Amino acid sequence: MAKVSAEELAALVPCPVEDVRRFDELGLLDCENGQFDTSQAHVVRLMAGFEAAGLSLEVVARAMASQALSFPLGRFLGEPAEMTETYEQLGRRLGRSPELLRRLSVEVGLPPQSSDRIRSEDAEMLELIVARLERADDDELSRFARLYGGTIQRLVGSGLQFFDRAVREHIDSLDLPLDERDRLIYQKAGGFTELVSRIVPWLQRRHREHAVIEYIVSATEDFMEEHGFIPPQPRQPPAIAFLDLAGYTALAEEQGDEAAAALAADLATLVQHAAQSHGGRPVKWLGDGVMFYFADPAGAIRSGLELIERTEQAILVPARIGINAGAVVVQEGDYFGRTVNVASRIADYARAREVLVSDEAKQTAGADDVDFELVGDLKLKGLSRAVRVHRAVRPPG
């Protein structure tokens, strides 16, 4: 990394140059002949974060001097980008409102700068967004920013939590000197960063291949029908399923949050496989349960029966499942509408170890390998009309 002066380092952070000099005087920064490695910009931001949290920098400095603490952030944080222009200047250059550009920055999850300056890499990406989506209005651009920003924020946060539990806690349990443990943690953090930087674009490329083919098939079918090349085809509605763990709240109260979190992690592994093997996917996690999307109701019902059986075997906690089929509204990777609401209410009504399905799901499933027992026309909470519900079960034998 390049060497810079105190003034140049402060501009990279950005922060007052007095902060850089104060941190340097405390021994918190690596400085040689008045020159700083550019990676020290990350350390300056970290020290400012310590101060904001009320942590004494004098105490941090003593811990660093004794080699109990070190912060080689350059191992896994990239070269700090320069701030070459303001949002006002960027807006004039792009012919777009500076307010829109600030809004997009916030909605992708970037913290606002008090100086109103923008990093060169951030400006480059905002320019690319508005250029590639030039026909989108401001609200549509915001939805795009939230979609990708929120997803990546959750991914990064979850990845750090995984690293903390799967790597740092294991290293802390080793019988090693503090400085050796510290060195090992940062070494592993660098390797973890490299892994994530490679796995994310790989998975995005692989999932895009599947999603694009699926999208083209669906769009082509619509085009062929609309222009009379083929007669309208009967469409099977998608299905929404909700799985809820019976007794999850009691478990959390009795055994604590750690036990509940471990149970949720085991459930995640289980449901991912069961859903995918029947053409579905988990949409979101709901603390004590999961919401699924299935392209076909039969897959949802078969997956539900498998999950009921496997959940109690694997994690010793019974599940209950509600399934409905019908039109859904798709927005930012989530699903909305009456179909979703009914599935949720059916799951709330179900008892432990039950897979309850709406009449719509039963009629459109065509699942000859499943039997159904009529439960009745139920008046479910929050719904204006009664819903006919069936219990899905394995056939005898």
Q: Do residues 20 and 9 make contact, with C-beta atoms less than 8 angstroms apart?
A: yes
Distance of alpha carbon 264 from the chain centroid: 16
Q: Which amino acid is at 367?
A: A
**pLDDT at 262 (0 to 100):** 72
The pTM for the full model equals 0.71
Taking the CA atoms of residue 359, residue 214, residue 336 and residue 153 in that order, the dihedral angle to the nearest 10 degrees is 140
Which pLDDT score, from 0 to 100, does residue 353 have? 93
283/4 Cα distance (integer angstroms): 47
The residue among 348, 319, 344 whose CA lies nearest residue 245 is 319
In the chain, count of helices (H) and strands (E)?
15, 14
Q: Are 321 and 355 in contact (CB under 8 A)?
A: yes
Q: What is the pLDDT of residue 252?
A: 67
The sign one gets for the Cα dihedral 209, 211, 216, 221 is positive
Measured CA to CA, the distance from residue 307 to residue 269 in angstroms comes to 12
The pLDDT value recorded for residue 150 is 86
Beta strands in 150-222 (DSSP E): none
Question: For 286, which DSSP code?
Answer: -
Euclidean distance between CA atoms 47 and 41, whole angstroms:
10
Question: Which amino acid is located at 94 in the chain?
Answer: L
Q: Which long-range contacts (C-beta less than 8 Å, at least 24 apart) are formed by 379-383?
A: 380/342, 380/345, 380/346, 380/348, 380/349, 381/345, 381/348, 382/341, 382/345, 383/341, 383/342, 383/345
**DSSP code, position 56:** -
pLDDT on residue 1: 62
Per-residue tens of pLDDT for the chain, all 397 residues: 678 999 999 988 888 999 999 999 999 999 998 999 999 999 999 999 999 899 999 999 998 998 888 888 888 788 888 888 999 999 999 999 999 999 999 999 987 777 788 999 999 999 999 999 999 999 999 999 998 998 898 889 889 988 998 999 999 999 998 888 888 998 999 999 999 999 999 999 998 998 888 788 888 888 888 888 888 766 789 999 999 887 767 666 777 767 767 777 777 778 888 888 898 989 888 767 899 999 999 999 999 999 999 888 877 788 999 999 998 988 877 889 999 999 999 999 999 999 999 999 999 998 889 999 999 999 998 888 899 999 999 998 6
**Residue that the structure tokens 């916030």 belong to:** 106
CA–CA gap between residue 124 and residue 173 (Å, rounded): 44
Helix (H, G, I), strand (E, B) or coil at 117: strand
Model pLDDT, residue 307: 92
